[in-house]
Amino acid sequence: MSLENSQTTTATAAKRRRRKTKDIRLSILEAAAAEFGSRGYAGATTAAIARRSGVAENQIFRHFNSKVDLFRKSVFDPLNEKFEAFNVTQLRSAISGKESQVTERYIKALSQFIAGQKRELLALVRSNADELGEASGIGKMGALGAFFQIGHAMMTAKRGPGVKMDARIVNRVSFATVLACVLFGDWLFPDELGKREMSSVLSKFITHGLDGLS
């Protein structure tokens, strides 16, 4: 084999190794998100994640410092980034339209967002904040805090200062209502009819609830 061919072969092999390393990391992240989503932090094991991703368990720790680090990178960080994007989208949506229209769009968009991130949100719900530490607890999710601040500011601007209840609390209760209905929809709405109507009912329920604030 000539020197030139040898160099080409070496370069090609190096590229393959880099692609393989990236693929392995992505496979581990996907497997970890699935395991944490179904079993929570405590119930998920790195051995199970390794089996699901098709790698040896020790390979996990070549890519991630610890189980907490893996949880953060597979669940916490991606969810935080998606929340940030959702916040930007909702700010644009809330600029125009009647309040009832804005609320209806918000509930529909929020329901769809939560449904799309159901696995990651369930992973947080099923995980013990004490085990994860402050860095990975849901209370430390900056985008969720920003989400509540945006909702509070929008509600205050539309309702004015003379409201009967604290808009910060109402905003969180509204979010929790949607979150519970979507995350536990299979249990709360076992028939398809209920699931189809859920978003519309939620929108009317929260809108009429907001009517009572002023």
- CA nearest 90: which of 109, 115, 77, 117? 109
Confidence tier at 134 by pLDDT (50, 70, 90): low
DSSP 135: G
The token duo for 209 is: 């609830």
User: How many CA atoms, within 13 angstroms, populate the side-chain half-sphere of residue 203?
Assistant: 19
| CATH H superfamily, domain 3-211 | Tetracycline Repressor, domain 2 (1.10.357.10)
Each residue's pLDDT tens digit, 118-129 = 988 888 887 766
Distance CA 100, CA 211 (A): 10
Distance CA 34, CA 119 (A): 7
Whether the CB-CB separation of 139 and 154 falls below 8 Å is answered with no
pTM equals 0.74
Confidence tier at 137 by pLDDT (50, 70, 90): low
pLDDT for the residue 139: 59
Q: How far is CA 159 from CA 99, 102, 153, in A?
A: 10, 13, 10
Residue 16 has pLDDT above 60, yes or no: no
Q: What is the CA radius of gyration of the chain?
A: 22
Domain ranges of the chain: 3-211
Each residue's pLDDT tens digit, 33-45 = 999 988 888 899 9
SS3 category, 190: coil
Each residue's pLDDT tens digit, 48-106 = 999 999 999 999 999 999 998 999 999 989 999 998 898 888 766 655 555 666 777 78
